[in-house]
């Protein structure tokens, strides 16, 4: 039987500007297992993205949280080996964690937006007018994955603009053209989105931003607008991976971690969730003269090959079993696409107590300089849980 196409589009937008301000499963144990698996998945997929032929020498930026949400939502409708592959690929042990546990864990995860105006995330399903999914599939998505449901005519030209308008609205215009054209056999689109907009706890003064040099590699230099702030910062130098870590907190329960390694390949090979936990624990606050380039980058990936490499192959071919979505029609996934955007500038919340700390230190005391003028990694994390919303590496801030 011919398979109808199911598109899975994953999008995310992050803006480190604007206005600004957390989560705790059949059992707490299963919830903790899902949470840890999500963190491990973040680094597994990052290594696939960073090592892919299409990304060599390029910036990498994506939302592991958004990808996990989309694939976990898809797993609600998967059965048999297809479901097992999704669970294994996401890092869930099916002998210890059930689909219900996963649904409850993501429901808790997505509730974090209720406590913070900085973040908006959820999913949407666009269904062809001729297609009726199983009611229980839609019920679980709405209850656990914050899913909006829409009926569209995928053969009509305005279906593309309908999806793109929804995406643009949810990402405040950061991703405005997710869909170029639709496969005529598409009967359903599953979209996961995440949008984060935070203000720095201690903003950078625009008057101190100056043109400076960024060393892309040994032979390539580019001019960047380099922001500057001399203040107290949480910093840790990890000798094991030869990397300096700077935390830039937002005026909320989220922070940006900037990782400046001596050797990027060494850090990429070794980094794991335990590093984030260690750094959070051992960071010390002291005065630094910090330089960070302004950024505005966008990325777009087809994740098919990488997910197949991670063991999730059946959903893309004739072996796909998505009978939890519909038994009447054989479905397969045509494409898993991820888009992300990152903007970083001087803006931040006016955090009254944050700006004057440490200014009375004696002027002759040596203030160490921490300058992000060569390739570095970036993570956006939740302070209490170390959940990873976004991660990537900046090879060239100007492209």
The CATH number assigned to the domain holding 98 equals 3.30.497.10
Residue 58, phi then psi, degrees to nearest 5: -115, 160
Does the pLDDT value for residue 95 go beyond 70?
A: yes
228 and 331, same domain (yes or no): no
181 and 288, same domain (yes or no): no
Percentage of the chain beyond pLDDT 70 is 88
Q: 18-32, 207-221, 297-311 — which is least confidently predicted?
A: 18-32
Q: Note whether residue 348 is domain-resident.
A: no
Region of 259 on the Ramachandran plot (φ > 0 left; ψ -120 to 50 alpha; else beta)? beta
| List of residues 6+ apart from 55 with CB closer than 8 A | 49, 301
256 and 227, same domain (yes or no): yes
| List of residues 6+ apart from 45 with CB closer than 8 A | 62, 64, 67, 303, 306, 310
User: What is the model's pLDDT at position 56?
Assistant: 84
User: What is the model's pLDDT at position 74?
Assistant: 92
User: What is the model's pLDDT at position 5?
Assistant: 56
Q: Note whether residue 316 is domain-resident.
A: yes
Mean pLDDT, residues 323-333 taken together: 85
Expressed in angstroms, the distance from the first to the final Cα of the chain is 45
186 and 99, same domain (yes or no): yes
337 and 371, same domain (yes or no): no
Does the pLDDT value for residue 139 go beyond 80?
A: yes
Mean pLDDT, residues 218-240 taken together: 94
Does the pLDDT value for residue 241 go beyond 80?
A: yes
122 and 260, same domain (yes or no): no
Residue 158, phi then psi, degrees to nearest 5: -75, -5
Mean pLDDT, residues 293-300 taken together: 87
Q: Note whether residue 66 is domain-resident.
A: yes
Considering its fold, how many domains does the chain have in total? 2
Does the pLDDT value for residue 18 go beyond 70?
A: no
- Alpha carbons 38 and 41: distance in angstroms, whole number: 5
Q: 52-66, 349-363, 383-397 — which is least confidently predicted?
A: 349-363
Is-contact 216 36, C-beta < 8 A?
A: no
Q: Note whether residue 347 is domain-resident.
A: no
How does residue 367 score in pLDDT terms, banded at 50, 70 and 90?
Answer: confident
Count of alpha carbons within 13 Å of 41, Cβ hemisphere only? Answer: 33
190 and 96, same domain (yes or no): yes
How does residue 366 score in pLDDT terms, banded at 50, 70 and 90?
Answer: low
Q: Note whether residue 69 is domain-resident.
A: yes
User: What is the model's pLDDT at position 27?
Assistant: 55
Q: Note whether residue 185 is domain-resident.
A: yes
Is-contact 141 147, C-beta < 8 A?
A: yes
143 and 48, same domain (yes or no): yes
Look at residues 59, 66, 155, 34 and name the one whose alpha carbon lies nearest to residue 336. 66
Give whole-number Cα distances, 335 to 26, 81, 294, 301, 320, in Å: 32, 19, 33, 10, 13
147 and 286, same domain (yes or no): no
Mean pLDDT, residues 5-33 taken together: 51
User: What is the model's pLDDT at position 282?
Assistant: 92
Mean pLDDT, residues 80-85 taken together: 95
Token output for 299? 């990325």
100 and 236, same domain (yes or no): no
Q: Note whether residue 351 is domain-resident.
A: no
How deeply is 244 buried, as exposed, middle or buried, from its count of CB atoms within 10 A (0-12, 13-18, 19+)?
Answer: middle
Query: What is the average pLDDT score of the chain?
Result: 84
Range of the domain at 162: 4-198+297-342
220 and 152, same domain (yes or no): no
Q: What is the CATH number of the domain that holds 232?
A: 2.30.39.10
Look at residues 159, 176, 131, 188 and name the one whose alpha carbon lies nearest to residue 6. 188
User: What is the model's pLDDT at position 7?
Assistant: 54
pTM of the model: 0.87
287 and 301, same domain (yes or no): no
């Amino acid at each position: 039987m011919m398979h109808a196409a199911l598109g899975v589009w994953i999008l995310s937008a992050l803006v480190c500007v604007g206005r600004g301000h957390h989560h705790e499963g059949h059992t707490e144990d299963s919830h903790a297992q899902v949470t840890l698996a999500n963190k491990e998945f973040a680094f597994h997929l990052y290594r696939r993205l960073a090592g892919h032929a299409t990304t060599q020498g390029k910036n990498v930026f994506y939302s592991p949280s958004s990808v996990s949400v989309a694939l976990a939502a898809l797993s609600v409708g998967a059965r048999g080996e297809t479901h097992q592959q999704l669970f294994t690929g996401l890092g869930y042990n099916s002998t210890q964690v059930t689909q219900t546990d996963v649904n409850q864990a993501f429901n808790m995860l997505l509730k974090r937006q209720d406590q913070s105006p900085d973040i908006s995330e959820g999913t949407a399903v666009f269904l062809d007018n001729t297609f009726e999914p199983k009611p229980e599939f839609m019920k679980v998505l709405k209850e656990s994955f914050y899913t909006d449901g829409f009926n569209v005519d995928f053969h009509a030209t305005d279906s593309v603009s309908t999806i793109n308008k929804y995406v643009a609205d949810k990402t405040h215009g950061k991703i405005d053209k997710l869909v170029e054209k639709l496969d005529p056999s598409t009967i359903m689109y599953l979209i996961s989105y995440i949008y984060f907009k935070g203000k720095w706890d201690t903003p950078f003064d625009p008057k101190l931003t100056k043109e400076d040099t960024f060393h892309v590699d040994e032979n390539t230099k580019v001019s960047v607008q380099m922001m500057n702030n001399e203040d107290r910062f949480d910093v840790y130098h990890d000798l094991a991976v030869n990397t300096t870590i700077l935390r830039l907190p937002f005026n909320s329960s989220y922070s940006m971690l900037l990782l400046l390694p001596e050797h990027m390949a060494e850090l990429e090979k070794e980094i794991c969730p335990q590093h984030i936990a260690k750094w959070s624990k051992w960071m010390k606050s002291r005065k630094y003269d910090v330089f960070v380039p302004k950024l505005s980058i966008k990325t777009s990936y087809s994740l098919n090959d990488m997910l197949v490499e991670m063991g999730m192959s059946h959903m893309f071919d004739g072996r796909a079993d998505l009978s939890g979505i519909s038994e009447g029609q054989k479905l397969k996934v045509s494409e898993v696409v991820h888009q992300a955007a990152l903007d970083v500038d001087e803006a931040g919340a006016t955090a009254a107590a944050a700006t004057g700390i440490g200014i009375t230190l004696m002027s002759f005391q040596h203030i160490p300089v921490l300058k992000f003028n060569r390739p570095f990694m970036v993570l956006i994390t939740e302070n209490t849980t170390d959940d990873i919303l976004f991660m990537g590496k900046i090879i060239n801030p100007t492209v």
